Amino acid sequence: MQEMDQPENTDERPEEEPQPQREPTGSPPAPRALEVKAEANNANTVEAKKVDNANEGPKKILQHKSRPPPRDPEVVKIQAWWRGILVRRSLLFAALGALTIQRWWKQIRMRALEARRRAVLEAFTRKEWAAVRLQAWVRMWRIRLRYCRLLHAARIIQGHWRCRPCGSRGFIKGHYRVTANQLHLELEIVLGSEPCIVSECIPLPVKQ
């Protein structure tokens, strides 16, 4: 590093410092020229050290920053307390969210269960009502059939019963004749085996 910086310093030296006057050859160098050269060498070494220190400075700063600062126990307690509060708050929010989701899910399940129960009840009611109507129709058909049979039997019995006394009853037959002022009526009444003949002349009222 020093070898690379020295030529730069030597190049800049003629601009900053005046060149010493050269004495004629063959004579020894003056003490003033030696002092100037020594000062230039010292300046070069100082600048090289500054450059080295400048390069080493960031490393020292990084090392200084990487070291953890000393902790106060009270500060550590306060930080732990605050972190505990934050953790408990987050857990409380999570628990409240879980309870809300569970309550909503239970409501959804109860509604679905109620709808399913209502659908099953309606289907059972429809089936029961259909069965009751079928049973009523069958019973009505059976009762009507029995009633028709009984009605037919009653009509047959009534017909036979009505025809039974007609043979023992009598009958009446006759004829009539109307004249100018009389009504001639002849009736034949049959009761059993003895007929009875009735003849009658009925005068008619005539206006004079």
Contacts with 199 (C-beta within 8 Å, 6 or more apart), sequence order: 184, 185, 186, 187
Amino acid 142 reads: R
What is the C-alpha to C-alpha distance for residues 148 and 150, in angstroms, rounded to an integer?
5
User: Same structural domain for residues 49 and 107?
Assistant: no
Q: What's the domain range around 123?
A: 71-164
SS3 letters across 96-164: HHHHHHHHHHHHHHHHHHHHHHHHHHHHHHHHHHHHHHHHHHHHHHHHHHHHHHHHHHHHHHHHHHHHC
Q: Each residue of 40-78: pLDDT tens digit?
A: 777 767 666 665 665 555 555 555 555 555 668 888 899
Confidence of residue 168 (pLDDT cuts 50, 70, 90): low
Query: Both 196 and 135 in a single domain?
Result: no
Tens of pLDDT, residues 99-127:
999 999 999 999 999 999 999 999 999 99
Residue 89 lies in a domain: yes
Q: Does 5 score more than 50 pLDDT? A: no
Reported as a single tens digit per residue, the pLDDT across 129-151 is: 999 999 999 999 999 998 998 88
pLDDT of res. 94: 94
